Each structure stands twice: as C-alpha cells, then as structure tokens.
C-alpha cells in the first residue's frame, strides 16, 4: 500500500511522514511540499491514501483533493490543518478523515485504521450493517433526534444527547474529550470537577444507547470518541452525498437547539 503526504511546511511534513511510517501500515510513504509535484507523481503511480494540508498557497488542499480524486477515484483522503472552520468543506469533499494540527500518533493511527476499514467495508457491505443502519435513523434537520425502529431515543441527560449530536456533526471523526468539553460548555474551565462531570455524561450516553440496543454507533478510546456513520441512516450525510430527497427535506434549520451547529446550518443553506 502507498500513501502520500502534502504540506508546505517542511517540519510538519517531516513529522507527518515519520508518524505514518511508524504505523507500519504502508509499504511506501511519499512526501511533497508542492501540490503540483504530488499530482505529477500520481500521473504515473497510484496511492491508497493521501494526507493533505488544507491551507497551502497556489493550490489549497481542497482543490488538490479534487485533482487527486480525478487521478485516483478510490483514494482515501485525510485533511490536516490548524483551522477547524475548514471541517465542513472537508466533509463536502467526502474526506475520510480530518485532523487538527498538531497531530498525535494515536489519533493519526485511529484515523488511518478507520480509513482503511471503511474502504474494505465499502467494497462489499454486509447485510448486517445495512439492516442496522435501516433500524437507526438520525434526524438533524430541525431538531436533533435518534430513532430506533421508528421510536425516539429518550436521553436521561440533555448533555448526553448534545454530546452525540456533536459527534454526528463531526461525521465519524474522532474528537478529544477536551475539544468536546469546550464545544458543549464553551468558555467554562476544564477543571477536575468538570472532567468528572464529563465522565458522568459519557457514561449516561453509553447507558442510554445500550438500553436501546444501539451502543455500537458510539466508540471511545484513549480519550477520543466518535460515532460510526456506517451504523445508521442520517439526513445530514445523505444531503452531503447529494441525495435529492434529503436536500429537499432541508428547510434551513439544523440541530436548532445547539448554538455550535450554526456553522453547518449556514453551509447547508448556502449549498442548497
């Protein structure tokens, strides 16, 4: 397997390549500081995964990803950036992963494993996965709700519901506990007491999902957490995949209870 890394900052590019090689997943890892050189390389060779900086001069990562997809339609793309506001544009590109700099080894490894697992499952999805996703519906247009077999999931704690709503908004990307805290509580202090309270919220979320038999839509490991998009049907994800029915069902409101959802709401409104 082959991976390419593209970043206009030499030290960051060197670190990214070093971390990717450390995983021992790829036989070959190539690095490029110039997007054009990466494209020239892909004119003659194929790659399985690309890790791209978004904010680059001349050709940004989003434009580069479009050009790469033309050469390698099945390639998995993970964006690396220091700016979280690029997340929605990355999602619209059908990116497999999205990591904020500075990246750590554990988080990178999780994203690489997820990218490759999603590639394998996409080649031949099992009937079990399809059945599970049809049982679980996640509604984000208007107010956020999860329905199992047509019945809404009742959360014991509102923050537990907001937590998984936030993870749905991140489209399967791993999010750290600290990042989650500052999204849900904004300017509050992330002190020991609040960390314990966050533990309580996470336990409550897991208990509720297990109670409804859908605990596998949520994953957590080493201080990171995410939802598993393959396990449920979601109007947001279908919208971003250009599903006409989902696009028609959007009426300008997205997760209306949560202030942090306004960025995605604005993007969806502009795109429609």
Provide the sign of the torsion angle of the four alpha carbons 84, 263, 231, 227, taken in this order.
Answer: positive
The per-residue pLDDT for 271 is: 80
The hierarchical CATH code for the domain 130-271 is 1.10.10.10
Rg of the chain over Cα atoms, rounded to whole angstroms, equals 19
Question: Which regions of the chain carry the CATH code 1.10.10.10?
Answer: 130-271
Residue 84 pLDDT > 70, yes or no? no
The pTM of the full predicted model, rounded to 2 decimals, is 0.59
Q: C-alpha distances in angstroms, 51 versus 14, 68, 76, 151?
A: 12, 11, 9, 40
> Within its chain, how far is the Cα of 194 from the centroid?
25
User: Average pLDDT in the 186-197 region?
Assistant: 86
Question: Which regions of the chain carry the CATH code 3.40.50.2300?
Answer: 2-123
Pick the CATH number of 2-123 from 3.40.50.2300, 3.40.50.720, 1.10.760.10, 3.30.565.10: 3.40.50.2300
Give the separation between CA 218 and CA 121, rounded to whole angstroms: 18
Give the separation between CA 268 and CA 250, rounded to whole angstroms: 8
pLDDT band at 79 (very low <50, low <70, confident <90, very high): confident
Give the separation between CA 172 and CA 170, rounded to whole angstroms: 6
Residue 128 pLDDT > 50, yes or no? no
Give the separation between CA 88 and CA 171, rounded to whole angstroms: 10
> What stretches of the chain adopt beta strand conformation (E)?
2-6, 28-32, 49-53, 76-81, 97-100, 136-139, 145-148, 151-152, 175-176, 218-221, 224-227, 233-234
The per-residue pLDDT for 205 is: 97
The per-residue pLDDT for 94 is: 52
């Amino acid at each position: 397997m082959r991976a390419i890394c593209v970043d206009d900052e030499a030290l960051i590019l060197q670190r990214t390549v070093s971390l990717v090689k450390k995983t021992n997943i790829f036989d070959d890892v190539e690095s490029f500081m110039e997007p054009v050189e990466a494209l020239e390389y892909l004119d003659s060779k194929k790659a399985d995964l690309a890790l791209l900086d978004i904010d680059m001069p001349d050709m940004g990562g989003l434009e580069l990803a479009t050009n790469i997809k033309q050469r390698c339609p099945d390639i998995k793309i993970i964006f690396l950036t220091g700016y979280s506001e690029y997340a929605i544009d990355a999602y619209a590109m059908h990116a497999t992963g999205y990591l904020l700099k500075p990246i750590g080894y554990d988080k990178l490894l999780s994203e690489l494993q997820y990218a490759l697992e999603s590639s394998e499952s996409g080649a031949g999805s099992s009937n079990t996965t399809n059945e599970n996703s049809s049982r679980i519906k996640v509604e984000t247009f208007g107010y956020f709700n999860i329905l199992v077999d047509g019945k809404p999931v009742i959360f014991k704690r509102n923050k537990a519901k907001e937590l998984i709503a936030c993870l749905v908004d991140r489209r399967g990307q791993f999010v750290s506990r600290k990042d989650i805290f500052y999204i849900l509580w904004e300017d509050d202090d992330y002190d020991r007491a609040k960390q314990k309270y966050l533990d309580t919220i996470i336990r409550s979320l897991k208990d509720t999902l297990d109670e409804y038999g859908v605990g596998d839509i949520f994953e957590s490991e080493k201080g990171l957490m995410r939802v598993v998009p393959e396990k449920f049907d979601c109007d947001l994800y279908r919208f971003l995949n250009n599903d006409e029915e989902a696009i028609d069902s959007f009426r300008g409101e997205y997760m209306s209870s949560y202030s942090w959802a306004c960025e995605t709401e604005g993007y969806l409104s502009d795109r429609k």
